[in-house]
Amino acid sequence: MLLNRFLALLSTRNKEFLRDRSSLGWNILMPVLIVAGFAFAFSGDLGNQFKVGVLNQHTATAESQRFLELRHIDFYPVDTITSALSKVQRHQVDMLFDAEKQQYWINTESPAGYMVEKVLLGVASQGFEKQSVSGKQIRYIDWVIPGILSMNMMFSALFGVGFVIVRYRKNGMLKRLKATPITAFEYLSAQIVSRMMLIMVVTAFVFYGTNFFVDFVMNGSHLSLFLIFALGALSMISLGLVIAARMTSEETAGGLLNLFSWPMMFFSGVWFSLEGAAPAMQAIAEVFPLTHVTAAARAIMIDGASLLEVGYHILVLLAQSIVFLALGSWYFKWD
C-alpha cells in the first residue's frame, strides 16, 4: 500500500463528510438531544418500581415463598451474592433476598429499599435477618449514557461506511476508482480510518459537552474508555463493511443495515438491564458488538473497572473485528 494514495483517499473522505452539514449536524445533535431528554425525564422520583434479586429461590422456606408470591415486585434469580450486592449498593436493585436463609440486604439510603423491606416484614410471621449496605446513588442517566454513546457510534459506523460504499458502487464511482492504481485494500483502509477518526471526535465532543451540564459519574480511566470506544467503533465499522461488500441497491442496503442496527439497539442493554431476562435473549445479546461496547464502557464509568477487568469484552470485540474485516475484504467488489 502506497502511503500517498491512502492519505489522499483519507483526506477526500473526511472532507466529504465535513462538507455534508446535515449528516455532521445529525451525528452531533441526536445524542445530545437524547441525553438532554433522559436527564430531564428521569431527574425526579420514578415512583414505586421495585426489583428484588433472589438467592436460593428453589429452596425457599414457606415464609419466603409468601413474599415471593407478591405481585407488582419484579423478582429475578441471582447466582452470586457479590455482583448482586454491588447492584443494591448502586440502587439498581432495591433488595437482595436469600429465600433459604431468610436474609435480606437493602441500601439504607434507598427509599425503594425501605418500602420493599416494609412489605417483606408485613407478610412474614417470622423474623428475617437484615443486612445493610450503603453507597452513592447512580442515576439512570449515569447508567444509560454509555449505551447512548455506543448506540450513536453504531449508527454512524454502519450507515457511514455501509451506505456510502453502496452509493459509490451504484453511481459508478467505485468502477472508476478500479481503473486507477488504487487497490481495494487502500480504499477500504481509508474508509475505515476516516470513519473511526470522525466517530471518536464526535463521541468525545458529545461526551464532554453533555458532561458539562449533566455531570456524569466517571470512576474509571478516560483513556480506557477511549480505547473501548475505539475498538467498538472498529468492530461495528467492519460489520458495515461486510453488509456493503457486494450490495448494489441503496434500498436493500438500508433495509439490511436497519435489520442489524435496531435489534442491537433494543437487545444490547442500552436502555434497560438484561438482569432477569430470558436466557435465550441474553445469549442473543452476546452476539452483538454493541452489547460488549456498552457493558465495558458502563463498567469503566460506573465501577471504575480497568482494561484487564473488561478483558472478556475486549477479546470478543477484537475477534469480531478480525472476522468482519476478513469477510468484508474477501467479498468486496468494485462493481
Residue ranges and CATH numbers for the domains of the chain are 3-41+139-331 (no CATH), 50-133 (3.40.190)
Say if residue 6's pLDDT is above 70.
Answer: no
Residues 6 or more apart whose CB falls under 8 angstroms from that of 106 comprise 88, 94, 95, 96, 113, 114, 116, 117, 130, 131, 132, 133
What does the pLDDT read at residue 319? 94
* 153 vs 28: CA distance, rounded Å: 11
For residue 127, the model assigns a pLDDT of 72
Instruction: Give me the helix-helix angle, 289-298 and 250-267, nearest 10°.
Output: 40
Q: What is the pLDDT of residue 192?
A: 84
- pLDDT tens, position by position, 148-161: 888 888 888 888 77
Bridge partners of 109? none
The pLDDT confidence band at residue 20, using thresholds 50, 70 and 90, is: low
Q: What's the pLDDT score for residue 227?
A: 94
* Nearest Cα residue to 103 out of 134, 129, 132: 129
Judged against a pLDDT cut of 50, whether residue 229 lies above it is answered with yes
Q: Which residue has the cell 470506544?
A: 229
Q: How many residues does the chain have?
A: 335
Is the separation of the CB atoms in 122 and 83 below 8 Å?
Answer: no
74-107 pLDDT, tens digit per residue, is: 888 888 888 788 778 777 788 899 988 888 998 8
| Per-residue pLDDT reduced to its tens digit, 265-307 | 878 878 777 765 667 777 888 889 999 999 999 989 988 889 9
pTM for the model = 0.70
Q: Give the pLDDT confidence score for residue 226 in this predicted structure.
A: 93
CB-count exposure of residue 86 (10 Å: 0-12, 13-18, 19+): middle
